[in-house]
């Protein structure tokens, strides 16, 4: 049952949350305190945090399935978006977000991202 649940919530992260992705684009270099989240994105945020709260309660934490795993990796980019855009979260979800961004692998990822150029010439080509 746990594997099926993990696949389901990973699949939802993989193919869902379009409003969140559009309204809160990935940017590890930025921080927008007090960012105004529009309604469609807020619905996605509410769904993500519901998944987190339910799964943390079911597993007993501290990660979605007790130990760090695939589901936590799938939701890690969302954790960074919540930091970048100062998303208001309930205490359980905020603690989970903070736990994920504090992982050594996440710190390494962010450090590498901060070293990347702001613009990549190959991506600026007009078609």
17-54 per-position pLDDT tens digit: 999 999 999 999 999 999 999 999 999 999 999 999 99
Q: What is the pLDDT of residue 122?
A: 75
Cis peptide before 92 (omega within 30 of 0): no
At 33, list the tokens.
């305190």
Measured N-to-C along each axis, helices 70-84 and 91-101 cross at an angle, to the nearest 10 degrees, of 100
Q: With a threshold of 0.75, does the pTM exceed it?
A: yes
Least confident span in 38-42, 85-89, 121-125: 121-125
Residue 6 pLDDT more than 90?
yes
Here the tokens at position 76 are 């890690």
pLDDT (0 to 100) of residue 79: 98
Using a 10 angstrom Cβ sphere, with 0-12 exposed, 13-18 middle and 19 or more buried, the burial of residue 115 is exposed
């Amino acid at each position: 049952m746990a594997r099926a649940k993990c696949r389901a919530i990973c699949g939802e992260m993989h193919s869902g949350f379009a409003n969140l992705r559009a309204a809160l684009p990935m940017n590890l270099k930025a921080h927008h305190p007090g960012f105004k989240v529009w309604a469609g994105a807020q619905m996605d945020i509410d769904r993500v945090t519901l998944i987190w709260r339910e799964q943390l309660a079911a597993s007993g934490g501290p990660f979605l399935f007790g130990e760090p795993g695939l589901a936590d990796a799938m939701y890690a980019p969302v954790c960074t978006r919540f930091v970048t855009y100062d998303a208001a979260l309930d205490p359980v979800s905020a603690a989970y977000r903070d736990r994920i961004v504090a992982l050594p692998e996440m710190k390494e990822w962010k450090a590498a991202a901060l070293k990347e150029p702001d613009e990549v010439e190959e991506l600026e080509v007009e078609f």
